[in-house]
Amino acid sequence: MPVSRITQRSLSDTTLRGLQANITSLQKLQNELSSGHRISRPSDDPSGTGSAMLLSSKKAADVQYLRNIGFANSRLQTTDTTLQALSNQLRSARDLLVQSRNASLNTESMTALAQSVEQIRNEVIDLYNTRYLDRPVFGGTVAGSYAVDPSTGTYLGDDQPVTTRITSESTIRMDVRGTDVGADTVPASLDLLATNITGTGATDADLTALDDALSLVAQALGDIGARETRVSDAESVVTSHKTDLIERISENVDIDLPETIMNLESQKVAYQSALGAAARILQKSLVVFLS
Amino acid sequence: MSGFSGLNTGLTGLAAAQRAMDITGQNIVNANTEGYSRQRVELATAGTSSSATFHTGNQPVLSGVSVETITRIRDSFLEAMRATAGARQSALTTEASVLEAAQQLLSEPTSAGLQNTLDAFYSSWHDLSLTPTDDAAGAVVLQRAAAVTDQLHSLVSNLSDEWTTSRTALDGVIAEANQAASDLAELNAQIHSNVVGGRSANDLLDRRDLLVRELGSLVGATALPGEDGQVSVSVGGVTIVSGSTAQELTLSGAHDISAVSADPPTILWNSTSVPVDSGQAAGYLAAIGTDLPDLSSAVDDVALALRDAVNSIHQTGYTRTGATGTDFFTGTDAASLAVVPTAPEDLAVATAAGVVDGSIAAAIGDLASDDASSAALSGATGASELWRELTTDLGVRVQSMAASVLVQDSVVASAEDAVQSSSGVNLDEEMTNMLLYQRAYQASARVITTVDAMLDTLINRTGMVGR
C-alpha cells in the first residue's frame, strides 16, 4: 500500500515497531547466551528437538549398557578365577591319584590320601557353589543359592542361560553351565576315587574321569576368556558411541558461543543506531522552527 | 450593494479564520488521541443573491465566506481493511499464546521431560534383570513407574487447567463484546439524533469507529454503513447490532476438556450457532475446540502405548513366588494410568515359575528402543516415539503460528499506516494551516480597517465645503 502522507504518529509507530523488533532479537540472543542452549522449547527447532530427544534416549540406553557390561565383566571375572582354582584342585586330585597307584604305600598313607581327596571334593563343591551377588555362577536360573548340594554333592543347577544386553544389537551369556565344567559328575567321581584308594585302588576310569573334567574346565576357561574379550570390546564400542552421542546432542542443542556472541554484538549495534535515528527524527517538527 | 457590505464581508472572513483556527487547534491537541480522525473546515463563498441573473440584470451580491461544513477525513475502505487485519491478528495471537503455554508444559527437550523419565523407567528394569531377587532394584522399578504415571497425570491435568483458563477467557471476551455492542447501539442512537438535528457528530463517529474496531478484534465483527451515519455490525453473517438495538452473544458447550467431543463449545446468538472465524474469540475457540483436546488425546495415546507394551511382556512372566504376571499398568487414559504391582515380589521378572531369572525384566528394559516397543505392540508405534512425534508436531505448530503472527503483524502495521496516512494528524501541516489562517485573519481585519477608512472619508470628510 503506497503511503503518501506521513504523520508524526505513524513515524513514531514505525520507530517503535523497529525498536521492538530489535529488542526482541536481543532478548532471544540473551536467552540463548545465558542458558547455553539453542533449543529451549520445541518451537525453537522442532526437528532439532525430535533428534535431541532421540539421541538423549539412545545415550540413556548406552549408559545402561555400560552398567550391564560392568556387571557382566565382574561376574565373568569371578567365574574365571573360580575355574582356575577348580582346575588347580582337580590337578591336585590327579596328583593324589597318581601317588596312590605307587605300590610301596602302606594303608595309613592310603587313608591319608583318601582323606585329602575327600578334602579336595569338599573344596571343589565350594568352588562350584561360588556366588556373585548371591547367585551361584554355575547354577543357571536355579531357585536356591546352591549349584551343587553341599552335603550330597548332587548337581542342582538347571543349565538355563543368564544373559544381559551389552549393546543395542547383542546380549551376552554371563553364566557357565554346571554340566560344562563337571559340576554334575566331579563330586561323585571324587567320592568314588576316595573309596577306591582305600579299597581296591584307583582305577584307570578314575584317571579318565579326572582328565575329562580337567579338559572340560580348560575349555570353559577358554570360553570365558573369549567372552571377557567380547565384553571389553563391547565396552569400548558403547563408550565411543556414547561420546559420539553426547557430541551430537551438544551440536544439536547447544549454542555456538563465538557465533552467538558475534550476533549479539551486531544486534547491539543495530539497536543503538535505531535508538540514535529515533532520537534525531522524532524531536524535529515545524513547531521548532516557527516562532 | 451597500457601502457597508464590505465590513460584513470582512467580518465573515474573521469568523471563518477563527473557526478554521479552532479546528486546527482541535487537530493539534488530538494528534495522539486513539481513533481520532483529522477534521477540515470546508469554506464556501457565501450569499450570492438569488435574483442575480442575466435576465433581471441585478448584480450578484457578494457577502463573504461561510463555513460550509467540518469534514472528518476518513477512508472507510482503509478502516475496514485495518479492522479485518486486526481481527485476524487477534485470532492468531490468541491461539499462538495458548499453544505456546501448552508447549511449555511438555518441558522438552530438558531433563525434566517425559522422555527422560521413560528412559529411567526402562533402565531400572535392566538393573532389576541383573539382580532379579534384589528388593532394592524392584523398589526402584516401582518408583520409576510411579514417576512416569505422575508425570502423565500432571501433564493432562495442566492441559485441562489450560483449557479451563482459555474457556473462562473466552467467556470474558464475549462479555466484553456484548458490552461493546450495547455501547455501540447507544452511540448509533446519539449519532442518529445529532445528524437529524443537523449537529456535528464527528467525535461520536470517532468513538463509534473505535468500538467497531474493538468488536472486530474481540469477535471478528464487521461493520456495514447504514442510514444517518449509523452502522450495523455482524459476526459471521449474523447481525448483532442494528441501529440502536444490540443482541447478546452467549457461549455454550462443554465446561470440561473431556466433554469437548460430545458437546463442542459454540458461540450462540439466540440459540443459533455463530461461525466466528476471527478475533480473539476465534483463537480461543480453536484452542478449546480442537488444539488442547487433540493434544490431550495424543498424551492419552502415549500412555496407552506404554501400558500395552509393558503389559504384553509383563503378563508372560512369573513373579518370584511363581505367580503368573498380571498387568503392570492399568487405566484407560493418561489421567487414570496407574501401576498395579505394589511390592517388588509382585514384579513378573522370570520366564518360568520357580527359577531366578531376569529375562522378562530385561525384555521390558529393551522397550526403550523404538523397534522393540513397536514389536511388543504388534507393529503399532511405541510410547517414546509417539511422545517425540507429539512434541515435534506441537513445536512445528507453534513455530508456524509464530511466523503467521509475524506476517499478520506487518499486515496490520501497513493497514494502520494507510489509515494514519489518510486520517492522522500531521503537525507540520497543521502548523502551516495555522499560519495560513492567521494571515487570513490579519487580512480580513485589514479589509475592515480599510473599509472603515473609506467610510471615514465618506462620512467625515465629504460635504465639508464652505464649513
Predicted structure pTM score: 0.87
* A137 CB-side CA count, 13 A: 26
Straight-line distance from the first to the last Cα atom of chain A, in angstroms, rounded to the nearest whole number: 36
Query: How many angstroms separate the CA of residue A50 from the nearest CA in chain B?
Result: 6
Which percentage of chain B shows pLDDT scores above 70? 96
CA distance A166 to A170: 6
Please give the helix or strand (H or E) that residue B71 lies within, else none: strand B65-72
This complex has an ipTM of 0.89
Give the mean model confidence (pLDDT) for residues B55-84: 82
- The whole-angstrom distance between residue B350's C-alpha and the CA centroid of its chain comes to 58
* Residues of A in Cβ contact (< 8 Å) with B399: 43-44, 46
Q: Is B321 on the interface with A (CB under 8 A)?
A: no
β-strand partners of B224: B232
Distance between CA atoms of residues B53 and B41, nearest Å: 29
Contact B119 A57 (CB under 8 A): yes
pLDDT of residue A281: 78
Q: Flag whether residue A50 sits within 8 Å of chain B, measured between CB atoms.
A: yes
pLDDT band at residue B1 under the 50/70/90 scheme: very low
Residues of chain B neighbouring A5 (CB-CB closer than 8 A) = 421-422, 424, 426
User: Which residues, listed in sequence order, are joined to residue B350 by a DSSP beta bridge?
Assistant: B318
C-alpha torsion sign, points B376, B380, B383, B389:
positive
**Whole-number average pLDDT of chain B:** 91
Interface mutation vs chain B, best among A24, A158, A165, A281, most B CBs within 10 Å: A165
SS3 of chain A: the string is CCCCCCCHHHHHHHHHHHHHHHHHHHHHHHHHHHHCECCCCHHHCHHHHHHHHHHHHHHHHHHHHHHHHHHHHHHHHHHHHHHHHHHHHHHHHHHHHHHHCCCCCCHHHHHHHHHHHHHHHHHHHHHHCCEECCEECCCCCCCCCCCECCCCCCECCCCCCCEEECCCCCEEECCCCHHHHCCCCHHHHHHHHHHHHHCCCCCHHHHHHHHHHHHHHHHHHHHHHHHHHHHHHHHHHHHHHHHHHHHHHHHHHECCHHHHHHHHHHHHHHHHHHHHHHHHHHCCCHHHHCC
Among candidates B108, B120, B134 on the partner chain, residue whose Cβ is nearest the Cβ of A49: B108
Confirm or reject contact between B33 and chain A (CB < 8 A): no
pLDDT digits (tens, 9 = 90+) for B129-140: 999 999 999 999
Tell me, yes or no, if B417 comes closer than 8 A to chain A by beta carbon. Answer: yes
Encode pLDDT of B351-409 as tens digits: 999 899 999 999 999 999 999 999 999 999 999 999 999 999 999 999 999 999 999 99
B 82-101 residues inside an 8 A Cβ radius of A: 100
Say which DSSP state B86 is in. H
Taking one residue from A and the other from B, the number of pairs with CB-CB distance under 8 angstroms is 175
Is pLDDT above 60 for B424? yes
- Residues in chain B with CB shorter than 8 Å from the CB of A287 are 427, 431
- Pairwise CA distance, residues B258 & B452, whole Å: 89
Average pLDDT, integer, range B332-343: 95
Torsion angle of C-alpha atoms B334, B336, B341, B344, degrees rounded to 10: 50
Residues of A in contact with B104 (CB under 8 A): 41
- The mean pLDDT of B58-78, rounded to a whole number, is 83
Which residue among B32, B369, B399 sits closest to A9, beta carbon to beta carbon? B32
Rg (CA), chain A: 39
**Nine cell digits for residue B463:** 460635504
Low-confidence ranges of chain A (pLDDT < 50): 1
8 Å CB contact of A160 and B431: no
Å between B3 CA and nearest CA of chain A: 39
pLDDT at position A199 = 87
Residue with cell 569371578: A78
A 160-179 residues with CB < 8 A to B: 160, 162-165, 168, 171
Nearest-neighbour CA in chain B from A278: distance (Å):
17
B170 close to A (CB below 8 A): no
- Give CA separation, A269 vs A15, A276, B119, in Å: 16, 10, 45
pLDDT at A2: 54
Give percent of chain B with pLDDT exceeding 90.
Answer: 78
Chain B residues within an 8 Å CB radius of A16:
none
